[in-house]
Structure 1
Amino acid sequence: MYQNSLKVVVYKMFDYKYLSKEEIKGFNKYKYSAIDTSPLSKYVMHPTWNTVVKFIPKSIAPNLITFAGFLCMVIAVVTLSVYDYDFYAVGGRPGVVGYQSEVPNWVFTMCGVLIFLAYNLDGIDGKQARRIGVSGPLGELFDHGLDSFIVFLVPYSLVSVYGRDQEYSVSCFRGLLIVISVVMNFYVSHCEKYNTGVLYLPWSYDLSMWVSALLFLFAGAYGPEFYKYYVFGDVTFTQALEAVIHCMGFITTYPVAVYNVYLSNKNRTGKRYPILQATKPIWSMLVMTGATIYWAVQSPNNVIEVYPRAFIFMFGTLFSNISCRLIIAEMSHSRCELLSWMTWPLLGGMVMSLCQPQLEAIILHLLSALFLFTHVHYGICVVRQICNHFKINCFTVPKDKRK
């Protein structure tokens, strides 16, 4: 009796209708359109994935492959959090003289393998969907929704590779800026799709996944001290990597996105929104990112250095939720919201932390928990709502498609 009541409560809890009737109907006429011109993807990865997918049973649902890739990243992050919660484990811990790694090398090796596996599973899921004939809006939403979290978890994990020692590394605040720089490539690409109707996959994605996996694998083979050296003059390896990451977006993503939106308007192939509507997706992300950076800079307790993992995780969860809402808007042919409701708790928490410094740690961890729960709730409810609309199961292949 008690178990049945609990099931009913859980069912109702995750049966909230986030999508309006207009948004749901918009999915009926959605068609996937993407362009991938990356040489690495075109000549290496796609041929590999086309071969590998032939060995996957048709009874395995594409969304199950997508979720397996996501779980690989979750396992990597959880493992690193256990061994290196405060990012001091590869150097820089107060009171410790000299370099002393506290993370076993096998952890880095495992994380490198998991990241590369997640990357490949993310490429294979679409191949499996087209192979068995179950491609549809749910698959793309599920894929890109989880990608919005994975694209954050990868640079979030990399902080543990270079650590936070004062000589060879960068501060946690600069680590936050690196994470922001990486995830913005993903968001800008979807802002571009919101206006053009076509997802132009950035070259930096495939390259960054390869580089991230290799950084972990080399750390596993030679230890994280392998990266503690000066590239030239007073510039360390981590500082050089930081500069490259920041430059990638400005070279390979941002100008290309602006140009593609310009061409779609000029050739009348895109949605041709008025300027205010075309730039609407920018504001939620701009306000959220600006508030996060301002909080980190003005924190009376230097919260980004004291609780870096919780603070950066809070940002990543917010980023993923705002990205998912943008993805839904572009797929359902609806207008993007101006500001996410999560902006207000963030701003309120930031102001309260600055006014009541003794509560800052509590506020930070409460906000992180709140944003994580609401984001998971949002994702589960949206997937269930779309499954009910199309009368399909997220993780099951119809019997007539298994032959």
Structure 2
Amino acid sequence: MRKLIETSDAVAQAAMLCRPLVIPMYPITPQTHIVEKLASLISDGNLDAEMIHTESEHSAMSAAIGASAAGVRVFTATASQGLALMHEVLFIASGMRFPIVMAVANRSLSAPINIWNDQQDSIAERDSGWIQFYVETAQEAMDTTIMAYKIAENKDVLLPVMICIDGFTLSHVFEPVDIPEQKAIDRFLPKYEPGDKLDVKNPKSFGPIAFPDTFAGFRKMQDEAMGRSIDIIKNVNSEFKKAFSRSYGDGLVENYMIEDAEYAIVAMGSACGTARAVIDEMRKKGKKYGMIRIKCMRPFPREEIISAAKPLKGIAVLDRNIGLGAGGALFTEIKAILPEKNVNDIILGLGGKDITIEDIKKSFEIAEKENSSTQWLL
């Protein structure tokens, strides 16, 4: 069924289709519409789940961990300072290998106080052991939420997943969305069957202390699971395409007109739509421009990016974040795997500032003229 709906609505309906049993929540702008829609779905009898209204985001993630430990499918959502408040327990969720799925409506971090979009909040948590997806459209937000459960719950992965959605810029935008039928989702996503869970009839210890001789081994297992998730993500993306006739690149990276490109943008999130429009326009003028869209930030798709970037003369990385004193986070990762390439860091779109067609054109000009520079587009 195709409907014109808000992206937050699409995320909530996607979560409903995945049949979570527990939804711990604490509202924070611009995630609030996701919470409100899920609450309505429960109160209207469309979703058989328990929504736990917690006193903070730290408590919401703690409740999600407890519910996942009990062996049920869990969904939650947050943004900005709320995600920062979760920081302590994000590592517990991933370290205990709980396949929680969480939507993040990306918003800047204070101070100064700002409720608008950039990606600083989720970028700050990129090393917390969560798989991270960054989506471009409402349709992709819905589809990625569904795929996230199949990836997270795979026995070779068992890691939590964040679906990162640009706050307001995407979360509050209405777009046409194809909503799958429940039967189709049930075929694609089987009932969650946890390997271990809290059970009074079969007692087990969860989260015991790890001494120095074993701690690194647990981290290594997490890292190996993150590595295995690369193929799982690709496979789930392919399975989703077979089931619903939609996919997003290989699930990790989506290239746009990159085959014969000389200069390219590397970007994440909703700004990629603007970049496509610029590429289309400039191609008509003879410019061989393209884009490498990073859908998956963790695990970082090194080989896929290296392969796509081989023919490029220059790259402009669009960073909607800033690692103060080190440049943008995406630039840092790209430059590390492409040390011989002309990679320029473009800091833009912070605190909700629009990323315009002119900004994208300027970024391409920098890729052509500069050599591994850092530029702020204010």
| TM-score, with length taken from structure 2 | 0.31
Q: Relative to total residues, which structure has the larger helix share, 1 or 2? A: 1
Structure whose CA Rg is larger = 1
| TM-score, with length taken from structure 1 | 0.30
